Amino acid sequence: MTEPQAPHPAQSISYPAESRPSSRYAQEQLDPHVIVLFGATGDLARRKLLPGMAHLVLSDLAPDIRIVGTSLEDMSDEEFRAFARSAVEQFGHKQLSPEQWDLFDDNLTYVAQSAGPAALAAAVERAEQALGGDVRRLHYLSVPPKAALPVIDMLREADLVARARVVMEKPFGTDLASAIALNARVHETFKESQVFRIDHFLGKEAAQNILAFRFANGLFEPIWNRNFIDHIQIDIPETLGLDQRANFYESTGAYKDMVVTHLFQVMAFVAMEPPTALEPRAISEEKNKVFRSLLPIRPSTVVRGQFTGYTSLPGVAPDSDTETFIAMECRLDNWRWAGVPFYLRTGKEMAEGKRIISIAFKEAPRSMFPANSGVGQSGPDHLTFDLADESKVSLSFYGKRPGPGMRLQKLSMQFSTGETESAGDVLEAYERLILDAMRGDHTLFTTAEGIESLWDRSAQLLDNPPPVKPYAPGTWGPNAIHQLVAPHAWRLPFEREWRAKK
């Protein structure tokens, strides 16, 4: 760790004190960083990465930063800055004043990928000289999977591997063999400790709140097992279609695009054993134990769907069998979760866009209540985590309805981070993960071992997938999903809505 550097001129003005994000990282002094953003003109960079980096640069959260954008387009620095400004104004969750924009603007440069490794190395060197002192590098690969290895090769040829970490976007392979080959090729250039496989779902405040909820509360940890929990649902339907992504999606589908890289990762947070410490290695090991205990995914416990009209999209084969929807039952072969089904569902063009984890508790004996009391008529008690930005948690339970007699009804207790005094401290997922990568913190990232374990458990499904079933856009998927979870029922759509903030 180096001595604190004097602030770079581009950092001399920041957010006003009353709106400046506070930080659990405030006590850390990080080295200055050059972020090399591959795919700098792509959709992810426009919607998430550039606005997130602007927030970090102008806050007290991150060290001094220079950003070198690179992509296939030929652009000048001025044109890239105009592109970035449009992205921040359209998608940033904090609006920048002209003075703040001028400060962020000074941190941006651009070099076309076609200019080659030497030009990229020269741009990084200029950025490092502007920062001064000991400078680290963060290479963010916001590129399609097929472009990842050429980018890794380019970084090696440009001699930009030393003092560097590399962030890689999903998917990480398409099966076990490709994942092993991809990891092996990456490890020819970067050590595993330098590689950060990103899953933005785990960067959400709500996902991390699962760890706090489970392991900091004596009320819940003792009942977090097969003796008290009946089943668990992880349900992430999307209303979004595919637009211009159909060509990419055709080679992946919902399982490879969402389940392996998102839903299974969230499942690990729900199911893992208590780590020995709140530190990256201990948490990664417990997540990997969950993946190793995952029983092979049987095609008979999977429903694949395809929304009508998908085969008419550009880049999609007329007889495509690619699933745009998937629902499945998973089982973990370990002491804590033996016999407890995990139901996972995700899809495109669905009725609502939600991101929930629902823990269904076993129902209590009801012999003492009369037949018409209402107990049992609304299903089991649920603990529900909403992974949206407001990080909501709800606990449903039976309570007595006011009035004569013993009539019961479902009630709920709800919490949202939006109702707390710290609501303004919430980081957008990509902001948190970029910051963690600069810190070298692997807690919220996927390991090579973990991803290979998941592809290994997926082999039966990938080799013999059930045929896709059609479903209409704007629905909850094929009707077969109800037989999949029977005698249970899907938690979505909710019968009770979240309470609105007063």
> Once rounded to an integer, what is the mean pLDDT over residues 370-399?
84
Query: With bands split at pLDDT 50, 70 and 90, how would you rate the model's confidence at 21?
Result: very low
Residues tagged in the binding site annotation for NADP(+): 39-46, 170
How high is the pLDDT of residue 392?
84
Please report which confidence band the pLDDT of residue 135 belongs to, taking 50, 70 and 90 as the band edges: very high
Identify the pLDDT of residue 423. 53
Instruction: Give the pLDDT mean for 341-362.
Output: 95
Residues 319/335, Cβ–Cβ less than 8 Å: no
Element (H, E) at 177: helix 176-187
Q: For domain 9-169, give its CATH number from 3.40.50.720, 3.55.50.30, 3.40.50.11030, 3.55.40.20.
A: 3.40.50.720
Please tell me the predicted confidence (pLDDT) of residue 464.
96
pLDDT in tens, 186-207: 999 999 999 999 888 888 777 7
| Per-residue pLDDT at 8 exceeds 50 | no
Q: What is the mean pLDDT of the chain?
A: 87
Stretch 293-321: mean pLDDT: 95
Instruction: Check whether 212 has a pLDDT greater than 90.
Output: no
> Does residue 456 have a pLDDT over 90?
yes
The closest alpha carbon to 12, from 47, 64, 50, belongs to 64
pLDDT at 243 over 80: no
> For the chain, what are the domain ranges?
9-169, 202-427+447-485
Mean pLDDT of 315-339: 96
SS (H, E, C) 139-165: EEECCCHHHHHHHHHHHHHCCCCCCEE
For the stretch 190-228, what's the b/e string if a residue is b when 16 or more beta carbons lie within 10 angstroms of its beta carbon? beeebbbbbbbbbbbbbbbbbbebbeeeeeeeeebeeee
pLDDT-derived band at 17 (thresholds 50, 70, 90) equals: very low
Half-sphere exposure of 418 (CA within 13 A, CB side): 14
2-6, 279-283, 342-346, 450-454: least confident range: 2-6
Q: Can you tell me the mean pLDDT for 64-93? A: 93
What pTM was estimated for this model as a whole? Answer: 0.87
- Asked if 444 and 280 count as a contact pair (C-beta separation under 8 A), the reply is no
Confidence of residue 132 (pLDDT cuts 50, 70, 90): confident
Among 206-215, 291-300, 463-472, the range scoring the smallest mean pLDDT is: 206-215
Q: Who contacts 222 (Cβ-Cβ below 8 Å, separation ≥6)?
A: none
- Grade residue 488 by pLDDT with cuts at 50, 70 and 90: very high
CA pair distance 80, 485, nearest whole angstrom: 50
Question: With contact defined as beta carbons under 8 Å apart, do 122 and 88 qualify?
Answer: no
Please state the rounded mean pLDDT for residues 365-384: 83
- The torsion of the CA quartet 363, 366, 372, 374, rounded to 10 degrees, works out to -30
User: Can you read off the two tokens belonging to residue 229?
Assistant: 């929990």
Q: Which residue has the higher pLDDT, 364 or 384?
A: 384
**How far apart, in Å, are the Cα atoms of 422 and each of 70, 205, 208, 211, 374?**
36, 12, 15, 18, 39
Contacts of 82 (CB under 8 A, 6+ apart): none
Annotated binding site: 39-46, 170, 200, 204, 238, 257, 348
Q: Tell me which range, 125-129, 363-367, 427-431, is most confidently predicted by mean pLDDT.
A: 125-129
Instruction: Name the architecture of domain 202-427+447-485.
Output: 2-Layer Sandwich (3.30)
Q: What is the pLDDT of residues 404-414, one digit of tens each?
A: 888 888 888 88
Q: Is 362 helix (H, G, I), strand (E, B) or coil?
A: coil
Q: Which residue of the set 139, 262, 382, 442 is catalytic?
A: 262
More confident call, 133 vs 303: 303
Per-residue pLDDT, 226:
97
- Is residue 2 over pLDDT 50? no
The confidence band for 422, taking pLDDT boundaries of 50, 70 and 90, is low
Residue numbers in the known binding site for substrate are 200, 204, 238, 257, 348
Q: From CA 313, how far away is CA 317, in angstroms rounded?
A: 9
Model confidence at 501: pLDDT above 70: no
HSE of 2, CA atoms in CB hemisphere, 13 A: 13
The question of whether 139 is a catalytic residue gets the answer no
Please, is 278 exposed, middle or buried when counting C-beta atoms within 10 Å of its C-beta (0-12, 13-18, 19+)? exposed
Minimum mean pLDDT range among 83-87, 174-178, 295-299, 419-423:
419-423
Per-residue pLDDT averaged across 279-308, rounded? Answer: 95
Residue 22's pLDDT is 38
Q: Where are the alpha helices (DSSP H) in 346-440?
A: 429-439
